[in-house]
Structure 1
Amino acid sequence: MEEQHKIVVYQVFTRLFGNTYTTNKPWGTLEENGVGKFSNFTDKALEEIKALGVSHIWYTGIPHHAVIRDYTAFGISNDDPDVVKGRAGSPYAVKDYYQVNPDLADDPAKRLEEFEALIARTHKHGMKVIIDIVPNHVARKYEGKNNPEGVRDFGANDDQTMEYHKNNNFYYIPGKSFSVPAPLDNYKPLGGEKHPLSDGKFDENPAKWTGNGSREAQPHFHDWYETVKVNYGVRPDGTKDFPSLPEGYDTKDHQAHAAFWADKEVPDSWKKFKEIALFWTAKGVDGFRFDMAEMVPVEFWSYMNSAIKIANPDAFLLAEIYNPKEYRNYIHLGKMDFLYDKVELYDTLKNIMQGKGSTDNLIPIQAGLADIGKHMLHFLENHDEQRIASHEFVGKAEIAKSAAVLSATIDAAPMMIYFGQEVGEPGAEDAGFGKPSRTSIFDYIGVPHHQRWMNGGKFDGGQLSNSEKDLRDFYKRLLNFTLYSPALAGEYAEIHSHNRANTEWYNDKVFSYMRWSEKQRLIIITNFDKQDSFGFELQVPANIIQGWGIADGKYTLDEKLYGQAKPTLTIQDGQGRVRVDLKPLESWILEVK
């Protein structure tokens, strides 16, 4: 079997993946609009995900979050529509960290066992399992009905007379009761449907700070009003009530970090989240995507991630983070494996795809991340971002092909795709709380292009159009190549700037670079132009040819995506030249034999 050199993550919104209903009524109920189940990830479905070129599945929306559905027969309290977004609820308003969403189970009484069976099935198909942990906030009505022995609920021991105490799990607004936000744009919970708890009120006294940090008893409608902020020992004035890591710990391994915290007194919330992570690790979960990680102090991540790595040294730890100034702290001090590369690579590629940016802008990004490039997870879609095929992004999924090749091959970092991206899902449904351009994470909804691939549970693409089949074939070729290419775990050099200065017809709609290791040498060139083909003599600088140790002569190159192009690398006096003829949005991954 080939050796795997890269990680490819398939993010799947678990509730939506297996849903075959096509009703798509705004604010529709589970009975009207349907819902996907753990059991929809059949052996065939997992086999096809694996064949797409996937190594890790991020099952989004697993921990039990607030939902508007009566599960009282299973010992679950009803949630209040006034503090739940959508009918199916936000996966980022977790209600019970030691259970899973009952919507996802065929038998809600056995929901945890059904998820454990899915973990086992995923492992059987050679893929690893990632789930979310949302450390910064929990649902306004958190109720741990499934806590292990000795584990008390969030807030159970809090002194609610104080705004802040180191061991309080929440921040309080003493003397004030919570008020539901004033609605905007004629918003009504559940689209205005009558519900016994939907009365514009929610009983919370004293009020707690809201998840995004709002300290108002009545948060704004755009605040994360469905959640409350967790206290990690950061006082309201921003000072810290816990030890700092000593100088030099940015170079120490997870064992040293774990040893540092072993005899330290830490805030109660730290202990609670560590126990949650270790609970799921013991269940066979292989890693976590940490929501809004930079809203939680980096010292906590040192404490928790080192504990996870002690339990599972191969754990996959991914942080959602948007502040480049903090990247190195969260990698070196916080012991994160990977960070979202959104504000630099993704945002730049989005501008290029939309015709508003130049490929010249990619050079300083890669140079600036050179020391941490392998830690930056790349993506073009996820549940928070607009679908590529939405009109608000570029309106056509194929326009992202060049960006996908570049994201997947420019460094050793993982590549992530979002379910439906591979068949051009446009996120066009008006689902209720969630609005078009993103596939709703708040509502019961069907995902039409994805459903055509699912083909009623056959998972064979039987209903896809030819263009959708072609797009999925493209992703399959690209992702499988990246998984097993030794060069993509190796060295990088851009040759774009050299060619911009020296090559006629080469412009800032294309981008070129080299990737190599002892076992493989690649020249990669992408055309981002939607209309124009480009033909030119691509130059390979002498310093790279010399480093590769290739003698003067002619070398036939293998194109690794489609295998149709067979250009020749001509080396004369140590300088390399390749005749390149790229169609619009075409990329070549050329291997030098």
Structure 2
Amino acid sequence: MIKNTVTINQPKKTVVYQVFTRLFGNKNTTNKPWGTIEENGVGKFNDFTDKALQEIKKLGVTHIWYTGVPHHDVIRDYTKYGISNDDPDVVKGRAGSPYAVKDYYNVNPDLAVDPAKRLQEFEALIARTHKNGLKVIIDIVPNHIARNYKGLTNPRGVRDFGADDDTSVEYARNNNFYYIPGKAFEVPTSPDYKPLNGEPNPLSDGKFSEFPAKWTGNGSRAAKPDINDWYETVKVNYGIRPDGSKDFPELPAGYENKGYKEHFDFWKDKDVPNSWKKFRDIALYWIGKGVDGFRYDMAEMVPYEFWSYMNSAIKVKNPEAYLMAEVYNPKEYRNYIKLGKMDYLYDKVETYDHLKAVIQGNALPDALSEIQESMADIEHHMLHFLDNHDEQRLASPEFAGTPEKGKPLMVVSATISSSPTMIYFGQEVGEPGNEDAGFGKRSRTSIFDYIGVPHHQRWMNGGKFDGGQLTPKEKELRDFYSRLLNFTLTSDAMTGKFEEIQSFNRRETENYDSGLYSYVRYTPKEKLIITANFSWVTSSTFQLRVPSEILKKWMLKSGEYPLTDQLYGKKYTMRIDENGVGLIKMTLKPSESLILKLEY
């Protein structure tokens, strides 16, 4: 049976370009493991020139997620700027994790030409990004903050996290942290790891002063967390008691069907935990500076009632704010979208994981249809990606193996639903993440170290941002991404219905190989037939069939109809036979895809 899984009149597609801000403009190609800024270099806010931003926009991008902007721990002496040194015993890597934020009211000094004016340099980047027609997204990490958090530039009246906590108890509703009374924090140890790879540092002594110890960011309640815990961070208390019960007002029944204004009104007169107010104020501070939205780290570790409170406040300030979140539990998706008022959640454990399994030969593509059907009511809210800072690079041997093998995954990921598409800088030129950066290892571009990104650097071409050093294959790949992403932004069918034709072709079509996947997307204005060949070794020649039930909806009668591939312009013909079935002769090369538009 062919089932519709997408409603019509959805918002237009958007494309998010995630860029690791510290690495984007770095021209240094030394790439020494555990290298310093002086050895390996670092990118700056100013590297995002008008030319760079124009080229990103031309790629088919609507939003830039500047990853790693809030001031997080780094192992570098900025004391002359009034910034305290960070202890390597509770910092991962040399450049530090962007998810161990040290000061939410300022930005990473590494990213500024003049660290004393780092906030002004970022404000200039916001303005420059807007001038070039792009929206700005930054990270907020409500679940945890750096163990040594210290707000050096708090606005007037803002109290630091934990400043007013009762540290004699494990839990109190308005404490910002959870405590382990009577016990001091102990630095985790491991025979396989030494901070800074064992390099001497005045603060690297296996100790960090914290009494009483706090719960660790991933929820560990041990005074000495495990080396694999998020020991560089502490968990924020949102009014969830240690037994898991809620110590705050809950949303009444029916609020899943109400908008952000009703949610905002609900919270107006409610007494909420102090941490809620602190993070709401942080978000509104950045909205006030022109930031257009946020990516929320590990959002499902924070109750959705808090998200209702904060996101509704953001939307009242800026109704167009773009709110995307990292959530990995499909059973909670609807709570975080409908009750938490999130715009978009990662579609990681469904679409991403299945596409990865397909290209690695561990699954057939057929189940993609079931995935789309299972999320029919929320498909627009499920952000699609194949590459980001947490995951193995698409082109790495550990994922697709080559950039070309990633192409059919990208076509399906970008066109199967009306959801946003996200790509990670360097993905569009085949970056494989092959560097051993120190703390960060191969297959992922390190977020903990000072490092270069070789394929991206060839596109950057010394700051010309013209692709002048790219190989012919890399140029072709970037052209493919540009064609695909720009098409999704302008295609009316991307906002319309999805129907799988996979099962019909599996059943009825000769020579329809197991590595093929087909579906249609359509609105009254545009009809698309999409087929992808996930095989990287076999060409497939077959006669694709479009079921009569679909063609009746398209109001097509017997005859021949011209089709045009929307990526490269090749012409095809669909003949409708006496049974009302559409027949399209095609040959798909390994890793090739077709997006055929009905021309009539």
Place the TM-score, normalised by the shorter chain, in its bin. over 0.9
Question: 1:87-98, aligned counterparts within 5 Å?
Answer: 87-98=94-105
Counterpart Cα distance in 2 of 1:309 and 1:148: 22
- The C-alpha deviation readout for 1:390-449, integer Å capped at 9, x for no partner, is 222232111110000000000100000000001111111111111111000000001111
Counterpart Cα distance in 1 of 2:480 and 2:208: 50
Shift of 1:569: 4.1
Question: 1:495-510, aligned counterparts within 5 Å?
Answer: 495-510=501-516
Q: Which residue of structure 2 aligns with residue 346 of structure 1?
A: 352
Shift of 1:518: 1.9
Q: Which residue of structure 1 aligns with residue 569 of structure 2?
A: 563
Counterpart Cα distance in 2 of 1:260 and 1:137: 26
The number of equivalent residue pairs is 590
Q: Which residue of structure 1 aligns with residue 12 of structure 2?
A: 5
2:513 and 2:540 in contact (8 A); partners too = no
In structure 2, the residue corresponding to 1:578 is in which secondary structure?
A: strand
| In the alignment, structure 1 residue 278 sits paired with structure 2 residue 307 | no
Counterpart Cα distance in 2 of 1:375 and 1:567: 35
Shift of 1:508: 2.5
- Which of 33, 45, 50 aligns to 2:40? It is 33
Question: 1:293-372, aligned counterparts within 5 Å?
Answer: 293-372=299-378
Q: Which residue of structure 2 aligns with residue 18 of structure 1?
A: 25
Counterpart Cα distance in 2 of 1:555 and 1:459: 42
Percent of counterpart pairs with the same letter?
68
Q: Which residue of structure 1 aligns with residue 167 of structure 2?
A: 160
Counterpart Cα distance in 2 of 1:289 and 1:242: 25
Counterpart Cα distance in 1 of 2:544 and 2:574: 11
- Which of 75, 89, 103 aligns to 1:68? It is 75
Counterpart Cα distance in 2 of 1:176 and 1:580: 70
**Structure-1-length-normalised TM-score:** 0.98
Counterpart Cα distance in 2 of 1:226 and 1:398: 38
Unaligned runs of 5+ in 2: 1-9
| In the alignment, structure 1 residue 428 sits paired with structure 2 residue 428 | no
| In the alignment, structure 1 residue 126 sits paired with structure 2 residue 133 | yes
Distance change in 2, residues 1:568/1:575 (3 Å): closer
Q: Which residue of structure 2 aligns with residue 514 of structure 1?
A: 520
1:424 and 1:449 in contact (8 A); partners too = yes
Shift of 1:283: 0.6
Counterpart Cα distance in 1 of 2:242 and 2:367: 39
**Structure-2-length-normalised TM-score:** 0.97
Counterpart Cα distance in 2 of 1:85 and 1:19: 21
Counterpart Cα distance in 2 of 1:504 and 1:244: 56
Shift of 1:205: 0.6
Counterpart Cα distance in 2 of 1:208 and 1:184: 24
| In the alignment, structure 1 residue 416 sits paired with structure 2 residue 422 | yes
Q: Which residue of structure 2 aligns with residue 532 of structure 1?
A: 538
Aligned AA (2:120): E
Unaligned runs of 5+ in 1: none
Question: 1:113-512, aligned counterparts within 5 Å?
Answer: 113-185=120-192, 187-512=193-518
In structure 2, the residue corresponding to 1:359 is in which secondary structure?
A: coil
Counterpart Cα distance in 1 of 2:128 and 2:491: 27
1:570 and 1:578 in contact (8 A); partners too = no
Q: Which residue of structure 2 aligns with residue 85 of structure 1?
A: 92
Comparing 222-231 with 114-123, greater Cα deviation is found at 114-123
Aligned AA (1:18): G
Aligned AA (1:65): H
In structure 1, the residue corresponding to 2:519 is in which secondary structure?
A: strand
Distance change in 2, residues 1:571/1:105 (3 Å): farther
2:574 and 2:582 in contact (8 A); partners too = no
Shift of 1:564: 2.4
Moved over 3 A (4+): 567-573
Counterpart Cα distance in 1 of 2:98 and 2:573: 49
Distance change in 2, residues 1:475/1:202 (3 Å): same
2:343 and 2:381 in contact (8 A); partners too = yes
- The C-alpha deviation readout for 1:85-131, integer Å capped at 9, x for no partner, is 00000000000000000000011111111111111111111111000
Counterpart Cα distance in 2 of 1:456 and 1:27: 23
- The C-alpha deviation readout for 1:206-264, integer Å capped at 9, x for no partner, is 00000000000000000000000000000000011001110000000000000010000
Counterpart Cα distance in 2 of 1:528 and 1:567: 23
Counterpart Cα distance in 2 of 1:256 and 1:571: 54
1:184 and 1:221 in contact (8 A); partners too = no
- The C-alpha deviation readout for 1:473-511, integer Å capped at 9, x for no partner, is 110110010111110011110000111111111133111
In structure 1, the residue corresponding to 2:596 is in which secondary structure?
A: strand
- Which of 61, 77, 92 aligns to 1:54? It is 61
Counterpart Cα distance in 2 of 1:113 and 1:394: 41
